[in-house]
Amino acid sequence: MINFWEKLPKPARPNGRSGRPFFCLAPMADVTDAAFRSIITKYGKPDVTWTEFVSADGLASEGREVLKNNLIFSKKEKPIVAQLFSSHPDKMRIASKYVASLGFDGIDINMGCPDKSVEKQGAGAAMMKDMKKAGEIIQAVKDGIKDANKKIPVSVKTRIGYNKNQIEEWVPFLLSCGIDALVIHARTRKEMSLVPADWKYVKRTVEIRNEMKLKTKIIGNGDVKDVKEGKRLAKEIGCDGIMIGRGIFGNPWLFSGKVPTVKEKLKVMVEHTKLFEKILGGHKNFAVMRKHYKAYVNGFDGAKELRVELMETKKASEVEALVKKFLKNH
- Same domain for 270 and 202? no
Over 80: is that where the pLDDT of 15 sits? no
- Same domain for 269 and 307? yes
Confidence category of residue 191, pLDDT binned at 50, 70, 90: confident
- Same domain for 169 and 247? yes
- Same domain for 252 and 267? no
207 torsion bin: left (phi>0), alpha (psi -120 to 50), beta (else): alpha
Selected catalytic residue, list 24, 113, 177, 239:
113
- Same domain for 268 and 250? no
Q: Which residue has the higher pLDDT, 252 or 190?
A: 252
- Same domain for 23 and 71? yes
Question: Which pLDDT score is estimated for 14?
Answer: 60
- Same domain for 275 and 129? no
Domain that holds residue 321: 262-329
- Same domain for 210 and 285? no
Average pLDDT over residues 134-159: 98
- Same domain for 143 and 274? no
Domain boundary pick from 256, 290, 309: 256
Question: Which pLDDT score is estimated for 300?
Answer: 95
Residues 6+ away with beta carbon under 8 Å from 151: 1, 145
CATH number of the domain bearing residue 160: 3.20.20.70
- Count of structural domains, the chain: 2
Residues 6+ away with beta carbon under 8 Å from 50: 24, 25, 26, 27, 32, 80, 81, 83, 108, 243
Domain boundary pick from 198, 228, 256: 256
Looking at 17-21, 130-134, 216-220, 301-305, which range is the least confident one? 17-21
How crowded is residue 75: how many other Cβ atoms within 10 Å of its Cβ? 8
- Same domain for 10 and 113? yes
Question: Which pLDDT score is estimated for 283?
Answer: 87
Domain boundary pick from 230, 256, 282: 256
Over 60: is that where the pLDDT of 1 sits? no
Over 80: is that where the pLDDT of 248 sits? yes
Residues 6+ away with beta carbon under 8 Å from 134: 111, 127, 128, 173, 174, 177
**107: three-class secondary structure by DSSP:** strand
- Active-site residue 113, yes or no? yes
Confidence category of residue 330, pLDDT binned at 50, 70, 90: confident
| Angle at 286 (CA atoms; ends 104, 79), nearest 5 degrees | 15
| Mean predicted lDDT score pLDDT of the chain | 94
- Same domain for 226 and 308? no
**In this structure, what is the dihedral angle of CA atoms 291, 246, 21, 47, given to the nearest 10 degrees?**
-20
| % of the chain beyond a pLDDT of 70 | 98
- Same domain for 223 and 162? yes
**In this structure, what is the dihedral angle of CA atoms 314, 320, 326, 329, given to the nearest 10 degrees?**
-140
pLDDT in tens, 205-225: 999 999 999 999 999 999 999
Write the single-letter amino acid at 214: L
- Cα–Cα distance measured from residue 194 to residue 75, given in angstroms and rounded to the nearest whole number: 36
pLDDT in tens, 37-90: 999 999 999 999 999 999 999 999 987 888 888 999 999 999 999 999 999 999
**In this structure, what is the dihedral angle of CA atoms 143, 7, 75, 249, given to the nearest 10 degrees?**
100
- Cα–Cα distance measured from residue 224 to residue 204, given in angstroms and rounded to the nearest whole number: 18
| % of the chain beyond a pLDDT of 90 | 88
Helix (H) or strand (E) holding 185: strand 181-188
Confidence category of residue 17, pLDDT binned at 50, 70, 90: low
